[in-house]
Chain A
């Protein structure tokens, strides 16, 4: 599991690569906090780019849910984009894709989220 950050204007794009399962969820949560703490200023939006996320289980959903709630409290827009079929299935079945905005790809997400 790997987490990378890119900033597009003021928007934080967090790129997830690998498998978000019980074994990697805790490390991912710490990486995510570190990555977001490193931005310095509070971004208007966080886009979680899942194009290279191959797998997610309930342990991974829990971390995304914690992040989504934290973003909501901080009034930061939070969304996902570019889901693989396996990840989409889990998000649909869990109801997660009905409570968090999911965009088809990064371009669509960046066009929709608040920029500043």
Chain B
């Protein structure tokens, strides 16, 4: 088992930096390139969510991302020091609704739930922690 961490201020402009961090981890661990994008999507959705909800507390949050390879899969943890918020309590969007009635938005967390094998939320002290795992097919 191996792991890595990156910490950035909660500004959406830092997203490319986090994506590079994930891609570097992927390369260093020699993971199959085609399976990186699900994690890139999950990282973006959760990071943007942390920044958006975190800024409601009036101060800028810090976001820490941890990646590890374990048990035939990758575990990604995204932690922020913003006000308590569990995005998994958001109602799922109606993905079958016709185009003209489709609300613009509400899809991010749905994508994360569908693209990861497991997603869990924990409030740990003053931090929100989302932990995601997905199996890597050899």
Contacts and interface: CB of A to CB of B under 8 A. Distances in A.
A85 B34 contact: yes
Main secondary structure of the interface of B (DSSP, over half): helix
Nearest to A66: B104
A29 to B, nearest CB: 11
A38 to B, nearest CB: 25
B114 A93 contact: yes
B95 A95 contact: yes
Interface residues of A, number: 24
A99 B34 CA distance: 26
Interface string B98-117: 11101011011011001100
Counting from the closest, the 7 A-B pairs by CB-CB distance are A95-B95, A86-B37, A58-B108, A58-B107, A93-B114, A99-B99, A57-B44
Interface of A: 21-23, 55, 57-59, 61-62, 65-66, 68-69, 72, 85-86, 89-90, 93-95, 98-100
